[in-house]
Amino acid sequence: DAGVTQSPTHLIKTRGQQVTLRCSPKSGHDTVSWYQQALGQGPQFIFQYYEEEERQRGNFPDRFSGHQFPNYSSELNVNALLLGDSALYLCASSLKPDQPQHFGDGTRLSIL
Amino acid sequence: AQSVTQPDIHITVSEGASLELRCNYSYGATPYLFWYVQSPGQGLQLLLKYFSGDTLVQGIKGFEAEFKRSQSSFNLRKPSVHWSDAAEYFCAGGYQKVTFGTGTKLQVIP
């Protein structure tokens, strides 16, 4: 039973570029949430997708956007990258929006 | 505002000793509460969760946590720590928009 899988594992971009991160939820899960974890910090909630719609959003600018596909997989897009966007981006999936979340190993994004 | 506080940034314990990691929450009503563990370069693994009912919650790897409404606390405990428990531990709370504490890094010495 595959858990939450994220791709790529590592990514290097430069300021101003755009990036897309991908997430496949755990089998049977229909809800995907995205978090940003800066070095030495706890994860910060970005947004949650359920039924292909953004249901909850944290305190992140519009440069951060997402999408959920009919197969429940999800993408996180970040435009106009800033140095401060360097972080570990974690995807979490759950059976429903208010159920415990299971995390992937994350994508490490470095901005030069 | 909803918040989760972990007062201890770093804790060192000897292998075989008992462990307690502190967590305090601030929510209007009793939220769902969680403890996660993160090893270096890895994602987060759910140790245990509290939704309602019995205030003493058993989790994986021999961990337990006790919800105390009067103290707004949800402390994590383990009676005997193993070297493999060295990691960072996060307390979290919320329903859909989960809020994490800043984490407690656990070091285990022989």
A43: chain B residues, CB-CB within 8 Å:
44, 90, 100
How is B19-52 classified by DSSP, letter by letter? EEE--EEE-SS---EEEEEE-TT--EEEEEEE-S
**Mean confidence (pLDDT) of chain B:** 92
Q: Nearest Cβ partner of B43 from A45, A48, A104?
A: A104
Stretch B2-30: mean pLDDT: 92
Cα separations (Å) of A40 from A68, A107, B15, B18, B48? 29, 16, 25, 25, 22
Nearest Cα residue in chain B from A40: B102
Given a cut of 90, is residue B80 above it in pLDDT?
yes
Which of A4, A96, A101, A107 has the highest number of chain B CBs within 10 A, making it the mutation to test binding with B? A101
Looking at residue B94, its pLDDT comes to: 87
B41, B46, B101: residue with CB nearest A42: B101
Q: Counting runs of H as helices and runs of E as strands, what totals does chain B give?
A: 0, 12
Element (H, E) at B65: strand B64-68
Amino acid at A8: P
pLDDT single digits (tens) A73-99: 999 999 999 999 999 999 999 999 888
Which pLDDT value is given to residue B1? Answer: 66
Per-residue pLDDT, A37 = 94
Give the separation between CA A58 and CA A92, rounded to whole angstroms: 15
CB contact under 8 A, B96 and A97: yes
